[in-house]
Amino acid sequence: MDKVKTTTITFSDLADWEQRKRAQLINSLGGFKSVNLIGTVNNQNQTNLAIFNSVIHLGANPPLVAFIIRPDSVERHTLENILETGYYTINHINEGIYKKAHQTSARYPGEISEFDATGLTAEFKNDFLAPFVAESNVSFGVEFKERIDIALNGTTLMIGEIRLINFPENCLCEDGFLDIEKADSVTCSGLDSYHKTVRLSRLTYAKPDTEPTEMEMRYRE
């Protein structure tokens, strides 16, 4: 972009902002985010589906993933079901389902499954306990491992181990890289903005004495 004037906002400026406006700005700051549907079921076979934009990679060996739950009634069913059953699914959102995915954040009564309310399809497969989203192209099943409560603001970090992975067979590269752009996964920013992506490039592993170069995409045959 052309260089435009920079606005600088201090902590004390921010304190004067109206609460929802401040929430919009602060939610936009970290950068683009993953956006996923987390599927769960309780012991009475009631399914639940909720959208989260805080799923992060925690480590590859063991394969660990984490996400943040806020002390909020919409997300509480996800927390309760995970603690009750020990399992959940994480499902990428694509352009075809992002509006339905967003709609899962509405405050439906407890007896209504967001699958039914939004028209997304619960799919049980490979004997995994929690429901996958059939319309999702990339999804994985997770076994709950640890809950870390963050006293600073009452949020909870949920950590789990990846047990089962589903993706379109033409999206896997020879080196193990999964091309989630080819799988139509979307990203989000702030609280409510959804985006497709356009790859700039994959870059080679950085070494002190060489410039990184662009890698060719080599899909597994």
- Of 111, 92, 113, the closest CA to residue 103 belongs to 113
**Contact with a second copy (CB under 8 A) among 42, 85, 105, 147:** 105
Binding span for a second copy by CB under 8 A among 40-48, 77-85, 185-193: 185-193
Contact 103, 92 (CB under 8 A): no
Q: CB count, 10 Å around CB of 123?
A: 18
Q: Are 91 and 83 in contact (CB under 8 A)?
A: no
Total site size for a second copy, rule CB under 8 A: 121
Site for a second copy contains 89 (CB under 8 A): no
Among 57, 83, 218, 219, binds a second copy (CB under 8 A): 57
> Is residue 190 within the footprint of a second copy (CB under 8 A)?
yes
Q: Which stretch binds a second copy (CB under 8 A): 40-48, 75-83, 99-107?
A: 99-107
Asked if 21 is part of the footprint of a second copy (rule: CB under 8 A), the reply reads: yes
- Residue with smaller CB distance to a second copy, 68 or 129: 68
Q: Does residue 63 belong to the site contacting a second copy (CB under 8 A)?
A: yes
Instruction: Let me know how long the chain is.
Output: 221
- Please select the residue that binds a second copy; options are 56, 110, 218, 219, rule is CB under 8 A: 56
Q: CA-CA distance, 171 to 139, in Å (whole number)? A: 13
Q: Residue 131 and residue 141: Cα distance in Å, rounded?
A: 9
Among 43, 45, 111, 176, binds a second copy (CB under 8 A): 176
DSSP state of 41: E
Q: Could you tell me the CA-to-CA distances from 157 to 33, 56, 77 in Å, in that order?
A: 16, 10, 15
Q: Looking at residues 26 to 45 of the shown chain, list those that interact with a second copy (rule: CB under 8 A).
A: 26-36
Asked if 48 interacts with a second copy (CB under 8 A), we say no
Dmax over Cα atoms in the chain, in whole Å?
60
Q: In the complex, what is the shortest distance from the CB of residue 94 to a second copy, in angstroms, rounded to a whole number?
A: 8
Q: Shortest gap between Cβ of 52 and a second copy (angstroms)?
A: 10
Provide the residue type at 107 as one letter. R
